[in-house]
Structure 1
Amino acid sequence: MSNTALIVVDMVYDFAHPNGAVYYPQNEQILPRIRKVIDECRKHDCLIVFMQHSHREGKFDKELTMVRQNCIEGTGGDELMPELGVQDSDFVIKKRRYSSFYGTDLDLVLREHNIKNVIICGTKTNCCIRATVNDAYHLNYDVIVPRECVATNDETVNDVHLTDIQKYLGRVFSMDELFKWLEGEEK
């Protein structure tokens, strides 16, 4: 197995489907590009992890006091988008906060698989992507974000956060650069 993991953040119905509770068209647009990255990472034997934003139905959750109701268990809103092609060998980890690391066993899963590099894609660049990148950096993972595979509802906000990630927290690659990097990692 490779020492690289792909972490797909929050590509769930409520965020990526036109009938979702907090849908942004940008999330639907990045789905086919994320699928290409998933397929390429599979070719290079990367660990694939899907983070699933999910809130317990009928239970208090502080995050939901600050945003519109979304990703509630049992409503279908927290279901991963079928276009992603989740396989039985993949990890699916539920989360309730912006960071994929906070309150989950993601770090343990990565360490158990000797992961050094994390490729992070999904939604929203200014919330869940940024928080996940920040925590990955502070946990000493080498972070890569494929530019075409993250989105939020404002392109300027998206670009500002990608600029900060590139400057302080990791590398921001085009998909082509990522695929070339994956080829080089195999050698």
Structure 2
Amino acid sequence: MNNSALIVVDMVYDFTNPEGLVYYPQNKLILPKIKQVIDYCRNKDMLIIFLQHCYRKGKFDKNLINMRPNCIEGSGGEMIDPVLEVDEKKDYVIKKRRYSGFFGTDLDLVLRENHIANTVIVGTKTNCCIRATVTDAYYLDYKPIVIRECVATNSDVVNEVHLTDIEKYFGEVVSMEEFFGRLEKGDL
């Protein structure tokens, strides 16, 4: 059994589509790369988990006080970008309301039930959701691995600063080529 899982963070309409409420062009650019990684991982029978940023419609959420409303349940903005093709029979979709995919969700339970040791993380908002999910994965004794070409935020400089910190303090940052090579060798 594979002890690694691919975690796709918040690749939802509001972030990835030019009509989305918090769209950044960088998110659209990483979509095909994430799709390529998902397809590769599926061929290797790796567990795939989609984290879906989603706020309840008409309900208070303190995150929405200081930011533009986005990813509201039922708006379509919370829907995973269709380019990524969720396999409803095998993949998990976990809704979240905070930056970390672990906070207030059953992500840790799903990973433990599937005997996962390595969390391969891709998706959006390197400075918020990626960083928080990586940090919590590290504190929960998973090995976080971030694929460099498959994460983004609204600033390339901010993206690089957070990748540097992630690599220094919490886990690994690898290229797609390195990731594919390690999968082929059975190193993940």
Question: Could you tell me the TM-score, scaled by structure 1's length?
Answer: 0.98
Write the letter of the residue equivalent to 1:75: S
Is the aligned partner of 1:115 residue 2:123? no
Is the aligned partner of 1:30 residue 2:24? no
SS of residue paired to 1:183: helix
Residue 186 of structure 2: aligned partner: 185
**Structure 1, residues 34-63: CA drift from partner, whole Å, max 9, x if none?**
001101111111100000000000000011
Per-residue deviation at 1:186? Answer: 6.4
Residue 82 of structure 1: aligned partner: 82
Write the letter of the residue equivalent to 1:17: N
**Structure 1, residues 159-180: CA drift from partner, whole Å, max 9, x if none?**
0000001111000000000001
Residue 162 of structure 2: aligned partner: 161
Residue 21 of structure 1: aligned partner: 21
Q: What are structure 2's unaligned runs of at least 5 residues?
A: none
d(CA) in 2 for partners of 1:37 and 1:137?
A: 22
CA contact (8 A) 1:44 1:186 kept: no
d(CA) in 2 for partners of 1:158 and 1:42?
A: 27
d(CA) in 2 for partners of 1:55 and 1:82?
A: 20
d(CA) in 1 for partners of 2:186 and 2:8?
A: 20
**Structure 1, residues 127-149: CA drift from partner, whole Å, max 9, x if none?**
00000000000000011100000
Residue 52 of structure 1: aligned partner: 52
SS of residue paired to 2:160: helix
Aligned identity (percent) is 65
d(CA) in 2 for partners of 1:72 and 1:7?
A: 21
Write the letter of the residue equivalent to 1:105: D
Runs of 4+ in structure 1 over 3 Å off: none
> Once superposed, what is the RMSD of the aligned Cα atoms?
1.0
Question: Could you tell me the TM-score, scaled by structure 2's length?
Answer: 0.98
Residue 92 of structure 1: aligned partner: 93
Bigger CA drift: 177-186 or 79-88? Answer: 177-186
CA contact (8 A) 1:93 1:106 kept: yes
CA contact (8 A) 1:54 1:95 kept: yes
Per-residue deviation at 1:14? Answer: 0.3
Per-residue deviation at 1:184? Answer: 2.0
d(CA) in 1 for partners of 2:159 and 2:15?
A: 16
d(CA) in 1 for partners of 2:98 and 2:172?
A: 24
CA gap of 1:6–1:184, structure 2 versus 1, over 3 A, is same
